Chain A
């Protein structure tokens, strides 16, 4: 059964690790249980959905945290988008040296796809973040073929997409801000806190987690009663 599952995964674009050590640079705590081989899959495309400006900022924070872990061993990342995307000094608290990132502002969506494909096929990059609103299925297949050859990790951030159709991506995520938890009795804000929803994952189990980002990395918030003003639970298909 396990053999069969591995063969199916290879057909679907997941390259099996073949006895090699699985790359565990990205430490996501309990979220890793959801993935095949219990590790954040690298060398594939991930899709992130956001609908409001604060959700977009939270998603970018989550992306920055992943980039910070990917860039531990050096290398460069590209951040592509239509407009200037993030404010570089803020990246430091997510463990990214902002000068390791190269930002590209692409004036048109059509050029964005071309640039994204070029970047995803460049083996020298560690990861590519693409802020792309609309993406068709066949276009996502092309991007998938590019990362299969180059083993670059693609992180596609779709802000306010018109339709949520299926894409040739390994996962689909949604990151929603949660109220932060300042230390008891202290005023002010705590660390960035998010509800991370894994809506789709190929060969894994979707789920959602409440995570807090601090300098040590991701902390899973288990006691939900500690969260003040717990927002209404929303369910996604």
Chain B
């Protein structure tokens, strides 16, 4: 069966994508720039910018001269490739074999597929209309070889279809640049006056090889089909999902446990091979009456230990209502991460983070994950904001813990107190807290902490450490200054 290939060319891949994400950019000229040798160069221009004469490769300063109101966005390196890979994944609905063709195209092997759409013309039209509807400007062509499809997509008519074995006729009138040649060879062809492929396609191979090297003959052969050309189609990701249909509907907790164990074993085997682990998983059961019941678990670090995962699910199995019976069990890992392999520790028994993480998972499954906190320092002075919760169990602090003296017991909300102060800026002589008068024997301070003015405005806090005669130590602060309004006093914590 002859091979058929479809070549797609995204004329403005990155700018079209940005315009899709930000619809307000559709009608404005904008460019993507990146620094090259100290200058900001235009990497891609939108359709409107191209119409103004701003081409990729000009410097941003020159482009601004052409259109002062030009919108400028940073070009992220590698973005185009990632975008193409995602588009190739999307194209898998049209053919099982698709591959990105950098910098801005896709190659699809469509042998034996188009009849499902009612012929190649209908197939091509469907693909183009969907992509155009998304907002991409696309050109495409179908031919027997990758080379011919590539040439026709870029230099032929829009939606050009070269029939079986007709690539030679289709190529005759195209320029030599459509053969994917090196610039040096193109220059030589131009110098000799070869403006169309038809002018040199019939020349003897020996002559062409002597003049232009092996590359031209190879590319010509690939376009005509006499040379083999391969491409590497992408491998679609298989979802982490396992299913277990049951012969008889399952109604007992024991039966559900057995099903869960089987599913976990097979899923964890696969995860173990790939070095991955579950962070979030859902266990679903399809009941006889058509209703799906499910339980969800989350782990604090990726795990593929079936016993541990089973224990987490086991806490929630009583929540599954089998009613008349469950016919189909599904286990799906919808958040999968790489497992950090622990270093084997032979002599040091305590401190295995995986075991601690498993304990925390069990606690989280029973109490809810919002109950477990690990804190990291944050570069802020306001006491309530000086710590932030850690996102993961393995997260390390990014700044050092501060050396300032802070109370071990900090009240969540400062409690107002009434004080007796001899002089402004002095610590109080005594204060009244919860109906009891505390006489201050010794005091330290003040430590002034200003409001974070970029977030909130207000008077500063002056903190004092005070100690009473019995040795109880308190952290007090005065909100505001004497002489500027009425300052208030608060108790904010107890020192050890």
Contact = CB atoms under 8 A, between A and B. Distances in A.
Interface string B360-379: 10110011000111111100
B390 interface: yes
Interface in A47-89: 52-54, 56-62, 64, 73-76, 84, 86-89
Nearest to B368: A107
Interface stretch (A13-21, A28-36, A133-141, A175-183): A175-183
9 contacts: A57-B409, A84-B412, A99-B375, A101-B375, A103-B375, A188-B442, A189-B442, A192-B495, A193-B471
A101 B374 contact: yes
B373 A61 contact: no
B373 A105 contact: yes
Top 3 nearest A-B pairs by Cβ distance? A61-B496, A54-B472, A124-B355
B351 A86 contact: no
Interface stretch (A2-10, A113-121, A166-174, A197-205): A113-121
Nearest to A75: B351
B363 A118 contact: yes
A105 B371 contact: yes
Contacts of B443: 187-189
A140 B407 CA distance: 31
Given A111-B367, A179-B471, A97 B407 contact: no
A98 B441 CA distance: 31
Contacts of A188: 442-444, 465
A62 to B, nearest CB: 7
Interface in B362-401: 362-363, 366-367, 371-377, 383, 386-387, 390, 396-397, 401
Given A53-B409, A87-B407, A125-B359, A179 B387 contact: no
A122 B493 contact: no
Interface string B430-460: 0000000000011110000000000000000
Contacts of A163: none
B426 to A, nearest CB: 12
A156 interface: no
Contact of A124 (B359, B373, B495): B359
B372 A57 contact: no
A177 B470 contact: yes
A231 interface: yes
Contacts of A62: 496
A92 interface: yes
Contacts of A122: 355-356, 359
A31 B469 CA distance: 26
A89 B404 contact: yes
A101 B373 CA distance: 9
A226 interface: no
B165 interface: no
B441 A91 contact: no
Nearest to A105: B371
A99 B441 contact: no
A61 to B, nearest CB: 2
A90 interface: yes
A182 B371 contact: no
Contact of A87 (B356, B397, B406, B441): B406
Contact of A123 (B349, B390, B402, B403): B349
Nearest to B406: A90
B89 interface: no
Contacts of B493: 57, 87
Interface of B: 348-356, 359-360, 362-363, 366-367, 371-377, 383, 386-387, 390, 396-397, 401-410, 412, 441-444, 465, 467, 469-474, 493-496
B356 A125 contact: yes
Nearest to A180: B467
A104 B363 contact: yes
B122 to A, nearest CB: 61
A106 B403 contact: no
A92 B348 CA distance: 25
Contacts of A104: 363, 367, 371-373
Contacts of B374: 99, 101-103
A219 interface: no
Contacts of A193: 471
A182 B401 contact: no
Nearest to B400: A92
A208 interface: no
A59 B472 CA distance: 12
Nearest to A97: B401
B406 A177 contact: no
Contact of B467 (A61, A102, A179, A231): A179
Nearest to B493: A87
Contacts of B356: 76, 102, 122, 124-125
B471 A231 contact: yes
A176 to B, nearest CB: 8
A54 B473 contact: yes
Nearest to A83: B412
B475 to A, nearest CB: 10
Contact of B407 (A52, A57, A176, A229): A57
Contacts of A87: 383, 387, 406-410, 493
A179 B469 contact: yes
Given A102-B374, A179-B471, A58 B496 contact: yes
Nearest to A79: B373
A89 B386 contact: yes
B401 A98 contact: yes
Given A64-B496, A188-B442, 16 more contacts: A54-B494, A57-B496, A75-B351, A76-B351, A89-B401, A90-B406, A101-B374, A107-B367, A111-B366, A177-B470, A180-B471, A187-B442, A189-B442, A189-B467, A192-B496, A194-B496
Given A76-B353, A124-B352, A99 B390 contact: yes
A22 to B, nearest CB: 17
A93 interface: yes
A155 interface: no
A180 to B, nearest CB: 6
Nearest to B494: A57
A97 B471 CA distance: 27
Contacts of B496: 57-62, 64, 90, 94, 177, 192, 194
A88 B383 CA distance: 11
Nearest to B434: A53
Contact of A102 (B373, B444, B465, B474): B373
